[in-house]
Amino acid sequence: MQEQDLDAVFHVQTQAYVPQMVESMVLLRERLQVAANCCWVACDALGAGAYLMSYPSVSGKISRLGESFWVAAMPDTLYLHDVAVGQRLAGKGIGVALIQQALQYARQQGWRHVGLVSVQDTLAFWQKQGFSVCEGPPPGQEVALQTYSGVAYYCERKLDFPD
104 touches 159 (CB < 8 A): no
pTM, to two decimals: 0.93
Residue type, 126: W
Q: Considering the chain, what is the average pLDDT of its residues?
A: 94
Interval 103-128 mean pLDDT: 96
Interval 110-130 mean pLDDT: 96
Q: What are the structural domain ranges in the chain? A: 3-158
Q: Bridge partners of 117?
A: 154
H helical segments located in the chain: 6-16, 25-34, 94-109, 123-128, 142-145
Q: Is 152 helix (H, G, I), strand (E, B) or coil?
A: coil
pLDDT of residue 160: 84
Segment 146-158, tens digit of pLDDT? 999 899 999 999 9
pLDDT of residue 142: 87
pLDDT over 70 for what percent of the chain?
99
| HSE (side-chain half, CA atoms, 13 Å) at 151 | 6
- As a CATH number, domain 3-158 is 3.40.630.30
Segment 5-46, tens digit of pLDDT? 999 999 999 999 999 999 999 999 999 999 999 999 999 999
Residues 6+ apart with CB under 8 A from 54: 35, 38, 39, 78, 79, 80, 81, 82, 102
